[in-house]
Structure 1
Amino acid sequence: MSFPVRWVPSRWRGAHVPAYLRAHPFYLAERDPDRHVVAVDESAEELGADAYTGEALFDETDEPTPALQRVIDFLGALARSRVQTDRACQALEEAGVLVEWPLSLNLGKEKPQRLGGLYRVNEPRLNALDAADLQRLRDAGALGIAYAQLLSADQRRRLEALAKARSREQKLPEADAVFGEPDLEQQIDWDQLDFGDEGESS
């Protein structure tokens, strides 16, 4: 098996690619609370027999190659970051600043799509916290997350615009979706083009 170090940008329109997606087709699978293993999505296009080129994952002694070790290190950092994020979110919950966020998005379908299970930071509640509570949030690494969420909330409009653009592209022929123009070669009258005298030498 080989490991491709690449990301297909045509499928992600955001300026920032989340680490979870950058790790694809690899991810950590939890075998028990204290043990994880590196797993791979065998159905991923990157592993297709036709286009797959990359680096070996294991050497002759079945030890991880540098390519796989980079994956392991990245996934380890991702797991540690998730633990820190969970701790920060728990601190926000304990401070009473998280509220349910019933979000409805217009994603180019007939009806707006309602998303459940979301929470957001309530800014008035955050601003009303005393110094001790704010310090606890700071020490838990939660303040940065809180303000990042508040600032990113309006990005839902951009998400709607990208979804509508994607919906329009899916209705176009493949070439039009990629280049935004029809096949120009079919519009050229090759018989009318003058390439000079074929017998003329330079």
Structure 2
Amino acid sequence: MTNHVLLNNIDHANLKIKTGHASLYGSRVGLAPVFPTEFSEVQREYPILLRRDKEQSGYQAVALLGFAENENLFLDEPSHSPDHAVWRADYIPCILERGPFLIGFREQESGGVQRREPVIHVDMDSPRIGGESGEPVFLPHGGNSPYLERIASILKSIHEGMAISDEMFKLFSEFNLIEPVNLDIEIHRDEKLKLAGYFTVNEEALAELDGAALKRLNDAGFLAYAYFIAASLGNIRRLIQRKRLRIMNASKASAEQ
């Protein structure tokens, strides 16, 4: 259930948000949608893959966090204290960092013209809300807290990234840069995984683009994003190492019991 309401410093003057990461907060996921505006950070930590959107008319970029639906290999959750989980990466995708906040819209008149302007909404049914612990959203005198300023920046990145994604993928498709990718993953000799249904940017096709195509991509601001997607696949090896380490630690813990 969700209960989205417009955030304001009167009704939510004392609102505090639990900012950790745990299964309870939806952090244990194998994929996280990511947006072009954060590709430069994401590609340093995670493989970026593409998949068809729900309408099968375009693409959505996702960061691969694990090899199963509910496997986040970057999230360490102590069994005795799941609320004190640790995210083992320097960058966390915006969609998972935004907490209970999201972008909404309201009609605003400016110069006699009605405009839709983005505003921050909060899900009051989120498990991150409740109790005295957590980060304050507003300062005692009503101004935005540093935490809320950071959330506003995260939401802006999501909003701007969503706005350009369709155009970016259309241009990638026009230049035949997108190709299917099937990943055969060998965790151990007796454990092999196959990931299918994903796409990536073809590095060879990218390298063979002529000057006019490169200029169009660069002028649109999309050329760097294509390179980020292609380069990020190198992180698959690091993800495999995380999987192997998790298996090893689980076996060791089981043997000690």
- What interval of TM-score do these two structures reach, taking the shorter chain for normalisation? 0.5 to 0.7
1:41-86 Cα distance to aligned partner (Å, 9 max, x none): 8554x4465x8333145989xx884344542343123211232344
Residue number in structure 1 paired with 2:94: 19
Sort the Cα spacing of 1:160 and 1:29 in 2 relative to 1 into closer, same or farther, 3 A: farther
Q: Report if the CA contact (8 A) 1:27-1:75 is conserved.
A: yes
Q: Report if the CA contact (8 A) 2:19-2:99 is conserved.
A: no
Residue number in structure 2 paired with 1:161: 241
Sort the Cα spacing of 1:143 and 1:105 in 2 relative to 1 into closer, same or farther, 3 A: same
Sort the Cα spacing of 1:107 and 1:27 in 2 relative to 1 into closer, same or farther, 3 A: farther
Deviation at 1:99, TM superposition (A): 0.5
1:77-105 Cα distance to aligned partner (Å, 9 max, x none): 32112323443222111111111111233
| Structure ID, larger Rg | 1
d(CA) in 1 for partners of 2:207, 2:232 = 18
Q: Report if the CA contact (8 A) 2:177-2:206 is conserved.
A: yes
Task: Read off the aligned partner of 2:178 and give its amino acid letter.
Answer: L
Match of 1:151 among 220, 231, 247: 231
Higher deviation after alignment, 128-137 or 69-78: 69-78
Residue number in structure 1 paired with 2:121: 38
Deviation at 1:148, TM superposition (A): 1.6
Flag the structure with more relative contact order, 1 or 2, with Cα contacts below 8 A and sequence separation at least 6. Answer: 2
d(CA) in 1 for partners of 2:103, 2:187 = 31
Residue number in structure 2 paired with 1:103: 183
Task: Give 5+ residue unaligned stretches, structure 1.
Answer: 175-181, 183-202
TM-score (norm 2): 0.51
Match of 1:54 among 131, 135, 139: 135
Deviation at 1:165, TM superposition (A): 1.4
Q: Give the count of matched residue pairs.
A: 170
Deviation at 1:6, TM superposition (A): 5.6
Higher deviation after alignment, 108-117 or 95-104: 108-117
Residue number in structure 1 paired with 2:55: none
Q: Report if the CA contact (8 A) 2:101-2:120 is conserved.
A: no
Q: Report if the CA contact (8 A) 2:97-2:154 is conserved.
A: no
Q: Does 1:2 align with 2:82?
A: no
2:204 aligns to what SS in structure 1? helix
Residue number in structure 1 paired with 2:164: 84
1:92 aligns to what SS in structure 2? helix
Task: Read off the aligned partner of 2:181 and give its amino acid letter.
Answer: W
Task: Read off the aligned partner of 1:83 and give its amino acid letter.
Answer: A
Task: Read off the aligned partner of 2:121 and give its amino acid letter.
Answer: V
Q: Does 1:122 align with 2:197?
A: no
1:163 aligns to what SS in structure 2? helix
Q: Does 1:133 align with 2:213?
A: yes
1:90 aligns to what SS in structure 2? helix
Q: Report if the CA contact (8 A) 2:184-2:192 is conserved.
A: yes
d(CA) in 2 for partners of 1:118, 1:128 = 23
Q: CA RMSD in A?
A: 3.9
Higher deviation after alignment, 104-113 or 13-22: 104-113
TM-score (norm 1): 0.63
Sort the Cα spacing of 1:164 and 1:47 in 2 relative to 1 into closer, same or farther, 3 A: farther
Greater share of strand: 2
Deviation at 1:108, TM superposition (A): 6.7
